[in-house]
């Protein structure tokens, strides 16, 4: 077992505000890193405001890097203050997950996770450590926020952690699991790519037929239990779309991609970069890599043998057989058996997890209070006298349609009008 540096709590860390951070030996050979930003809200103690557990997607994206500096933290990767950041209203706990993402690491590749059940078990160990070190948060409302694949990991963790709480193995107050463009039923996304692209005029009839045929082949592999092959066919479907559209941005179809960006690197390289860093541009990736492996690493006392953000390819490959499997049954279980709220936010310009695909799997859910959601009216979401989207709720489920919003950047601003009523807290997406 390697010796892990364990900083004292209540450190300043890196950047503004009070912070805590810690390594956790989640199991033999596997070490995970968490980093808490205490809220800067005007409260007597930070535990008076909700705690958000942030899970990045990919799998292999870093919460401490992309989630923090790239999306919702107090400063961006150029260390410029972010006009709105989640820490202004909430305590935000970034966990580099799964092991080997970000500053988390393994002593050998065979300690990597191969499915989300193992990922959830590791996260349970992390959160037990967190509450042991910071017991003041035991009664604080906990919301899990997962973006993309982080949503898939988030619902599995929510189910496992709820069980741990019920069995008395940990004291915590889990209230909701929220998802931004979440990878819950991957095949529903793949099967709706062709009609979505056709309806917005990004492909013609020939393109529709080719993509639809490849999507059906991907589904056939999944239906036959050939999960690894289904994952590979998913990648081939994406490459086909890349070819037919001459480089559509899978994360926001409104993005006009410069030709030079498409020529410099392969589609797979750019896609991984988007997963990891929230952008295609090489300059932004270098900025974040240098920041995390330079001043951030030094300020947090990260061991010299740990290198941030270079491990995602291994993580993705080890999880490829699990990648295309749905977790809709877990969402159903949370809604049917627990009081954990489920919030789903989706940007309507996202392709990789498109809204039509999300609505398909939601329609197939069977929880006991489903008709409350089905019969509910959809209402408009106004922000500063502007329509930012629509929402619908009932039976413990909230769904948010976000206008002109994409994937990786669709997590900027929570709706805070009910922040002092934790049961009504809704996490949403600002259009960017």
Catalytic residues: 148, 350, 407
Task: Please compute Rg for the chain using Cα positions.
Answer: 20
Contact (CB, 8 A) for 401 and 355: yes
- CA 344, CA 336: separation in Å to the nearest integer? 16
Please spell the DSSP secondary structure of 319-361, one letter per residue.
THHHHT---HHHHHHHHHHS--EEEEEEETT-STT-HHHHHHH
Closest C-alpha among 123, 111, 96 to residue 21: 96
Counting other chains too, the contacts that 38-45 makes at CB distance below 8 Å and 24 or more residues apart are 38/87, 38/91, 39/87, 39/88, 39/89, 39/90, 39/91, 39/92, 40/16, 40/74, 40/87, 40/88, 41/88, 41/89, 41/90, 45/136
* Span between the terminal Cα atoms of the chain, in Å: 44
- CA 179, CA 331: separation in Å to the nearest integer? 11
SS3 238: helix
- CA 28, CA 174: separation in Å to the nearest integer? 27
């Amino acid at each position: 077992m390697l010796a892990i540096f364990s900083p004292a709590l209540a450190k300043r860390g890196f950047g503004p505000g009070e912070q805590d951070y810690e390594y956790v030996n989640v199991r033999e050979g596997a070490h995970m890193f968490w980093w808490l930003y205490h809220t800067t809200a005007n409260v007597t103690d930070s535990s008076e405001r909700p705690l958000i557990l942030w899970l990045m997607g990919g799998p292999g994206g870093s919460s401490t890097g992309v989630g923090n500096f790239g999306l919702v933290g107090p400063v961006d990767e150029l260390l410029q203050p972010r006009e709105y950041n989640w820490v202004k209203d909430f305590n935000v706990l970034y966990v580099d997950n799964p092991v080997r993402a970000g500053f988390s690491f393994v002593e050998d590749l065979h300690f990597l996770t191969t499915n989300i059940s193992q990922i959830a078990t590791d996260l349970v160990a992390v959160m037990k450590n967190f509450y042991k070190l910071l017991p003041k948060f035991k009664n604080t409302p906990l919301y899990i926020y997962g973006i993309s694949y982080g949503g898939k990991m988030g619902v599995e963790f929510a189910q496992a952690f709820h069980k741990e709480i019920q069995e008395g193995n940990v004291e915590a107050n889990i209230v909701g699991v929220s998802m931004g463009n979440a990878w819950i039923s991957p095949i529903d996304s793949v099967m709706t790519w062709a009609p979505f692209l056709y309806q917005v005029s990004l492909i013609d009839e020939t393109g529709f037929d080719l993509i639809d045929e490849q999507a059906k082949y991907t589904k056939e592999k999944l239906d036959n239990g050939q999960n690894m092959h289904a994952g590979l066919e998913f990648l081939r479907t994406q490459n086909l779309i890349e070819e037919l559209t001459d480089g559509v941005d899978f994360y926001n179809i409104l993005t006009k991609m410069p030709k030079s960006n498409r020529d410099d690197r392969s589609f797979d390289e750019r896609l991984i970069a988007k997963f990891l860093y929230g952008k295609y541009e090489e300059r932004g990736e270098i900025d974040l890599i240098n920041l995390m492996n330079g001043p951030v690493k030094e300020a947090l006392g990260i061991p010299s043998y740990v290198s941030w953000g270079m491990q995602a390819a291994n993580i993705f490959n080890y999880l490829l057989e699990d990648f295309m499997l749905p977790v809709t049954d877990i969402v159903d279980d949370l809604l049917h058996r627990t009081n954990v709220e489920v919030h789903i936010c989706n940007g309507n310009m996202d392709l990789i997890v498109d809204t039509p695909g999300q609505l398909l799997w939601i329609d197939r859910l069977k929880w006991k209070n489903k008709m409350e959601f089905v019969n509910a009216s959809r209402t408009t979401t106004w922000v500063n006298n502007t329509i930012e989207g629509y929402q619908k709720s009932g039976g413990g489920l909230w769904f948010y349609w976000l206008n002109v919003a994409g994937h990786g950047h669709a997590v900027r601003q929570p709706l805070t009008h009910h922040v002092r009523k934790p049961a009504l807290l809704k996490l949403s997406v600002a259009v960017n």
